[in-house]
Amino acid sequence: MEQLAASVRARAVALMEQVLRGGAPLAAEYPLVLDPRFPGRVLAIEERGVVVSACAALVRDFVVGQHTVRAGLIGSVVTHPEHRGRGLATELLLRAERALAQDGAWLALLWADDPLFYDERGWRPVGCELDFVLESWQEGRLAGASGIRAAAPDDWGAIHRLYTRQRERVDRSIDETRALLAGPGIETLVIQRERDVVAYSCLGRGGDFARTIHEWSGADQDVLALVRAHMQRAKARGASGPTYLLTPPTARTLHERLRGCGLTCADGVLAQGKLLDPQAACALLAALAGPQAVVSIETLVESAESRPHIVLRGPAGESILPENDLLDVLLPARGRRTRVEALARETGLALDALPLPLFAWGLDSI
């Protein structure tokens, strides 16, 4: 992805800070896109020396079980208040999507407070997370543990190792983990046993994830003890209201324990997504559908309009879906398997590896 000249980049970041943080600094919150040491990029539209619209973009390789899939993240989309409604953000989003696709991303993801703007530009809810809500009076339902303390920079290497044990994650370097953990407003706790840090958890992150534990790793009982410790610390600070725990759909044993404690969860959407490269998505579909599957893109004429469709063939027959519906099969919102099951019935393929349990931890979002 092309780098902006340093002065344009600085003005683009200043616009993001003005619009999103009332002028307060943003770089420490999003080091992977705003610190030039890391791979993220800032994109901008400039008119007569003024940056009028800007956004950030970051290519990430997501580890999903045995697969690694490349997706692009977009964030901090802003237009100068005096230049809104002229199509600038729409144009910049398209540029960001093209740049990410050129860098090999088949999918773009973003997290927006208000999804409507993106819905109207072809983005849709994708993926799944299970969000547990813990009311403050429920803290006693979780068992505690000894050895819990606030993390220090010395722990960041151990925390990174625990992060890389997650089956679903981003291929993140240790320097990236360090920079992310150093961000503002993150309460990171660890459990230390003898010399080893065996579990960690992060609550809050800058202006995001208020009262939310968004990243953790370790044995289930240790993670729950950390959740309890975050809740106790919140109470000691005088904070009221529930604590939220974000979990990937594959953390099934942790989910069982939480449900066993009488805690309830909601199926959440992971992000908003947009398909960037249908051919790469088809190759992924073929890899996930197994050796009996044959996948092709074919142009079908529908009421005088020709549109690309995906044809999936298996032992029992074939199934055709519009290219735009690929995400509903690969990464459906809330992990719903309705489309996958219909495809499996029509083709005779097992399709057990679908949907793809791609997951982004809190520090991975931009």
Ligand X SMILES: CC(C)(COP(=O)(O)OP(=O)(O)OC[C@H]1O[C@@H](n2cnc3c(N)ncnc32)[C@H](O)[C@@H]1OP(=O)(O)O)[C@@H](O)C(=O)NCCC(=O)NCCS
87 contacts ligand X (rule: CB under 6 A): yes
89 contacts ligand X (rule: CB under 6 A): yes
Residue 304 CB, nearest approach to ligand X (Å):
29
Q: Which stretch binds ligand X (CB under 6 A): 80-88, 95-103, 182-190, 326-334?
A: 80-88
Residue 278 CB, nearest approach to ligand X (Å):
24
Quote the CA–CA distance of 116 and 123 in Å, as a whole number: 9
Between 78 and 108, CB nearer to ligand X: 78
Q: In what order do the strands lie in the sheet with 305-314?
A: 294-302, 305-314, 317-322
Q: Which of residues 237-266 bind ligand X (CB under 6 A)?
A: none
287 contacts ligand X (rule: CB under 6 A): no
CA atoms within 13 A on the CB side of 29: 20
DSSP 250-279: T-HHHHHHHHHTT-EEEEEEEEEEEE--HH
116 contacts ligand X (rule: CB under 6 A): yes
Nearest to 18 by CA among 73, 89, 82, 110: 82
Nearest to 97 by CA among 45, 125, 46, 59: 59
88 contacts ligand X (rule: CB under 6 A): yes
21 contacts ligand X (rule: CB under 6 A): no
53 contacts ligand X (rule: CB under 6 A): yes
Q: Which stretch binds ligand X (CB under 6 A): 72-80, 275-283, 321-329, 341-349?
A: 72-80
> For ligand X, which residue of 86, 141, 178, 211 counts as binding (CB under 6 A)?
86
Residue 279 CB, nearest approach to ligand X (Å):
28
DSSP 86-138: SSHHHHHHHHHHHHHHHTT-SEEEE--SSTHHHHTTT-EEEEEEEEEEE-GGG
Give the footprint of ligand X on this chain (CB under 6 A).
Answer: 19, 53, 76-79, 84-90, 112, 114, 116-117
